[in-house]
Structure 1
Amino acid sequence: MLEDIQAAIPLGFLLSFMIGPVFFVLLETSAIKGFRAALSFDIGVIIADIIFILAAYFSSYQLLENLSNQPGLYVFGGVILLVYGITIFFKQGTKRPIDKPLKVKSNDYFSLFLKGFFLNFINIGVLVFWLGIIIIVGPSLDNEPVRIRVFFTTMLLSYFITDIFKILLAKQLKRKLTNNRIHLIKKGIGLILVVCGIVLIVKGFLPRDRFTIESGLEKIEGIRKAD
């Protein structure tokens, strides 16, 4: 059991630094709106991950293949990210605001929770990722429910604790933020979301043979054996 915990901690740490829309929006929320706002957003993200993990656990390898061969799901999620990113980008306008110290409005923590949840939930690639982890890690845990629960609970806790440190570090930037800098940051976040959306859409239009899971799992297994 202790070995399972030790194996899960570094994986959770690395997961926290996976570059994607959630990573950047979390840092932006912390820097602009503060610790509690970013924490609400992050809890929403983790709840979506828990739902994905449960779906992955009670699903099968066949579901993984079916999802991978449904490019429309990637296109759907990509379009949502694309539209959301474009909206954020153009909502800022082209005119820079007067450069003065930032004044933060009161936060709606439930809305931030929902924002984190849906931003993670619309990305079908996250579910495919967790399914892949279940398939790879399950046999090494002898497919024992207790060991699997301990592993993924530890992994998510490690992920969450690492995010808290990221939030605290990003919060330190708040003193240096002005309306002009916030304007640029939000435009940058909008562009990042647009790029992530385009990547998902392109992934949806790739040939089906590019979505086969066997090759990906073989590569991961090869890396594990090499280690």
Structure 2
Amino acid sequence: MITALLKGLFLGLMLMISVGPVIFSIIKHSLNNGHKGGIAFVLGVSASDITIVVLSNAFTEVFDSIKRYANELGIVGSCFLAALGIYFLFFKKIQTEEESVQLTIFRKRDYARIFLSGFFMNSLNPGVLLFWFVTASATATMTLTDKIILFSTCLVMVLAADLAKVFLANRIRPRLTRHNIHLINRISGLILIGFGVALLYGILFLHPVH
């Protein structure tokens, strides 16, 4: 249980500091539509993450035949996570948002629209889908309780960080320079590599499935 919690914290930390298109959208919605608009967008993103996590874990549990290859599946997933970390560390291109922000009038009926925009923006991102499915595969050997602890911890941390971005939008935006994003990407890469190695060690030496 403690191991699952630590892994959840580790993975959540990586996602909290990662920089992608979602963070720019969070800032844009927060500045354009106020805190309520930003929160609606963040909740949509969070709902998308929860849906993908549940589906990706369910996918690995549905087919009994997969159980026979739990170790192999976990090893492949761990290696993919480490490879993703290497990509973040050395190859990920730096993107910044230069578009100006214009304040618009926020209406209550726009809550659903903004929520759905966050949900679909996150759900249709191939990188997000790949990340959660690979992570689910890498944790295939863990018990259901440990999976719940790991993913719940991670998702709560990410939601809390995104909500913080909503209220700190005015301060965060000027700091998203190319240099800072490059540094954050490298840190994210190192964390992903460490997470992949930790999962691989656990599969091979702590709780292998025969």
Pairwise same-fold verdict (TM > 0.5): yes
SS at match of 2:168: helix
What is the TM-score normalised by the length of structure 2?
Answer: 0.59
The structure that has the greater radius of gyration is 1
TM-score scaled to structure 1, two decimals? Answer: 0.55
Counterpart of 2:112, as a letter, is F
Distance 1:51 1:26, change over 3 A: same
Instruction: Give the share of equivalent positions with the same residue, in percent.
Output: 26
Amino acid at match of 1:161: A
1:129 to 128, 131, 139: 131
Go from structure 1 to structure 2 and tell me whether the alpha carbon gap of 1:173 and 1:5 turns closer, same or farther (over 3 Å shift).
closer
Give the structure 2 partner of residue 161 of structure 1.
160
CA contact (8 A) 1:31 1:172 kept: no
* CA separation of 1:173 and 1:220: change in aligned 2, threshold 3 A: closer
Q: Unaligned 5+ residue runs, structure 1?
A: 66-88, 97-101, 175-216
Q: Secondary structure at the match of 1:138?
A: coil
Does residue 46 of structure 2 align to residue 24 of structure 1?
no
**Alignment-derived partner of residue 120 in structure 1:** 122
Runs of 4 or more above 4 Å deviation: 171-174, 222-225
Q: CA deviation at 1:110?
A: 1.0
Correspondence for 2:33: 33
User: Could you say which residue in structure 2 is the equivalent of 1:47?
Assistant: 47
Instruction: Give the structure 2 partner of residue 4 of structure 1.
Output: 4
Structure 2: runs of 5 or more not aligned: 61-65, 77-97, 174-192, 202-210
1:137 offset after TM fit, Å?
Answer: 2.8
- Report the CA distance shift for 1:9/1:133 in structure 2 as closer, same or farther (over 3 A): same
Q: 1:165 to 1:11 in 2, by over 3 A?
A: same
CA contact (8 A) 1:43 1:116 kept: yes
Structure 2 residue matching 1:149: 3-state secondary structure: helix
1:152 and 2:151 aligned: yes
Pairwise CA distance, 1:103: 5.0
Change (3 A) 1:222 1:47: closer
CA distance in 1, matches of 2:13, 2:198: 22
Kept in 2, the 8 Å contact 1:34–1:171? The answer is: no
* Counterpart for residue 80 of structure 2: none
Matched residue of 2:140: which SS? helix
Measure the CA separation in 1 of the matches of 2:50 and 2:27: 21
Aligned pair count?
148
SS of match in other structure, 1:59? helix
Assess, with a 3 A threshold, how the Cα gap between structure 1 residues 222 and 150 changes in structure 2: closer, same or farther. Answer: closer
